[in-house]
Structure 1
């Protein structure tokens, strides 16, 4: 007759050992992904992901080994099948969580092997890193991008909790495949970058406190709406600040929906409803980059979705919100959170270099000297190209062709710089600062 406690221990040991075998088959991405070098995620991103996953595997392996050691120490009298099975079940849940985290990054990195798509994504990584850069205020995490269906973008921010526990080592940005390739992709991409920047600067919490105080002082419920939407408004602000009218045009492309959706006033949603969101974007553009184009764009949007047909309550709320925008935008751009060391938001953004007239001058120069465009910071390039599209000086066909070349160029340049720094640091030429 089989000794029951011994059989229990044997059976559970087999399961635990099988888990160790499967765990050993989970390899680092540097051993499993086959992409051309220019399509790779940045070295910092690859290293951060693999280090994180390797640490998780190592911890789980130690836990399984400790479980086996515990089983070996049991005798027939102190073997309790239910307890032993419970411990193994918890280990299996941790194992599945480890695999889930692996799959999050595998889904992103596997796209890098797609012909042409991988290199373009590597170029978007460079754009995202440039949009996130803010010297002297924080150390930006690595950023990686991938494509997915749908019209909206999303971000899994760095330093947030992953499924199963643990802190995400990189920012992962999902961008809509339907926006490849046009300047509008910068609007979606940099909006998501804005969420990461806001978290690094603690902007949302800082602004929320100011808005709550403002509501208490003036006793106006409109401030409650700005406070509810502030996380998305800050992200839109970051996008407008980085790429100007490119951001607003891209936003219009995303939220141009049937009328019922554009005016759907769900005040529990963290997103401003589309109609007011576009008007806010135009107002932010006017505050950062004064120019008649913002009024013209706002009027165009209003002609697409006239508010006259709204019911009395909706019409009244819309007018109250629109009337409160100037005061709110003034508070937003002059906000001075502790993280900016006494500077305001408008002061730390490169607004002087992105005024419409300046962007037009860049475009004129690049018409004569196209090579200069390839030496310019990616976000500034998107701002210039979007401005040219807005002015009717560049067709969609020209825009797509140029951006395809630029994304490839940025991917290759980033790869070559990384390889040169790693292989021959003493021969790496100094990086010349270019317009940003």
Structure 2
């Protein structure tokens, strides 16, 4: 059916309405209230603004082009239905822009919450510390954190697709509000950072290839197949273990410590190991990286919480098969040589040598007697030391929370002095070199 003048007027008015609403899309710097210390990094802010501006300009150009097309003689051959289809595609693209805006608005709106916003900025710093590995294997994208309900965390990785197909310029990490503020939040947060890091290093395909060689050998095939299927989540748990030691496992237990039905619910088609074996895998990494009697104690405690006695034979067979290969699997992974690491072992890009239990215990005692020493420690090291102290029962949950609230605030304040964490030249190094400083009085140290 040919288009009428009324059809044209209707579609033109709808297109103009899109332009009017598009003009209401403002930079976050103009409409998001927060104290300076709670702001996301300048790199993240610039990347988000560039994306929103790029998509806004594209939509505006397409809408103006549509209006010009409606008025052109060449459009007269198109039916009303064809013209409506063109308009509806424009509206979908506009809605994609709003979806992208809302993703980042969820992050930034929380930055206006008293105390919480500043703590989130501190978690941004800690996340970047966990991602910025030495060696220059990649340029770490900016990461930003926000809180949500639930027990687990999640990440929308940088350089993946946003609604509408645009590349996400910023990693957005959702962390559980119920874990603020304690060392357990580091386990969840660094696990999500591990997803981003594993992707940047192409670890999943590389490690899976090594596991599949074990499958081809024909021994314990089901166990190795399951580990291959779960490798994405396992690598992220390893990333946390390699940064914070036993705090990674105790934090994981805090997440997956559910009623027994769920802990032993074995799904063979999903990306996550079932909770009981997931904790066992974490402990296997701990034994391989940080030899210490604490792992035997923690393992026995986990088994006492969730005894396998009475499980159906099929589940027991899977569990026994997995437990049998865990030591070999842990050694395979930590000694793996991905092509992206140019000949280095996977374990050697992480600070595990400096984070042995005895070293963390020594640091905690030194910090107790000289509290100012904690001021220059890397964020992940702070969480590692406090996680170890909590496991040793050397610090109460209340004391731990007070220290971490202070340190999160400190890292946020330091970043507010115009230092962005990028590559090797980052805020942590600036602190260690004495380039940034806040007095005890300014920070109101306890």
What TM-score range do you get, normalising by the shorter chain?
over 0.9
How far apart, CA to CA, are the structure 1 residues paired with 2:76 and 2:96?
34
Which structure has the higher relative contact order (CA within 8 Å, separation 6+)? Answer: 2
Structure 1: where are the runs of 5+ without partners?
420-428
Find the counterpart in structure 2 of residue 73 from structure 1.
72
Contact 2:212 2:228 in 1 (8 A): yes
Structure 2: where are the runs of 5+ without partners?
421-428, 435-446
Find the counterpart in structure 2 of residue 341 from structure 1.
342
The alignment partner of 2:344 has SS state of: coil
Contact 1:5 1:79 in 2 (8 A): no
Q: TM-score, normalised by structure 1?
A: 0.94
Is 1:115 the counterpart of 2:105 in the alignment? no
Find the counterpart in structure 2 of residue 156 from structure 1.
156
Find the counterpart in structure 2 of residue 385 from structure 1.
386
Is 1:87 the counterpart of 2:86 in the alignment? yes
Find the counterpart in structure 2 of residue 206 from structure 1.
206
Alignment of 1:95-174 (within 5 A): 95-135=94-134, 136-174=136-174
How far apart, CA to CA, are the structure 1 residues paired with 2:75 and 2:152?
59
Shift of 1:431: 5.9
Q: TM-score, normalised by structure 2?
A: 0.92
Aligned residues: 424
Alpha carbons of structure 1 residues 258 and 432: separation in structure 2 relative to 1, 3 Å: closer
How far apart, CA to CA, are the structure 1 residues paired with 2:353 and 2:274?
30
Find the counterpart in structure 1 of residue 442 from structure 2.
none
Cα deviation code 1:295-342 (max 9, x no counterpart): 110110001111111111111211111011011111100111111110
Shift of 1:184: 0.2
Contact 1:5 1:76 in 2 (8 A): no
How far apart, CA to CA, are the structure 2 residues paired with 1:202 and 1:137?
11
Shift of 1:7: 2.1
Find the counterpart in structure 2 of residue 407 from structure 1.
408
Shift of 1:74: 2.9
Shift of 1:76: 8.7
Contact 1:130 1:378 in 2 (8 A): yes
Alignment of 1:22-33 (within 5 A): 22-33=21-32
RMSD (Å) for aligned C-alpha atoms: 1.7
Find the counterpart in structure 2 of residue 181 from structure 1.
181
Shift of 1:367: 1.1
Find the counterpart in structure 2 of residue 423 from structure 1.
none
Alpha carbons of structure 1 residues 374 and 82: separation in structure 2 relative to 1, 3 Å: same
Cα deviation code 1:235-273 (max 9, x no counterpart): 000000000011100001111110111110111121110
Contact 2:249 2:282 in 1 (8 A): yes
Shift of 1:392: 0.9
How far apart, CA to CA, are the structure 1 residues paired with 2:314 and 2:142?
46
How far apart, CA to CA, are the structure 1 residues paired with 2:107 and 2:75?
49
The alignment partner of 1:290 has SS state of: coil
Find the counterpart in structure 2 of residue 267 from structure 1.
268
How far apart, CA to CA, are the structure 1 residues paired with 2:35 and 2:182?
24
Find the counterpart in structure 2 of residue 240 from structure 1.
241
The alignment partner of 1:175 has SS state of: strand
Shift of 1:430: 6.3
Is 1:398 the counterpart of 2:412 in the alignment? no
Find the counterpart in structure 2 of residue 301 from structure 1.
302
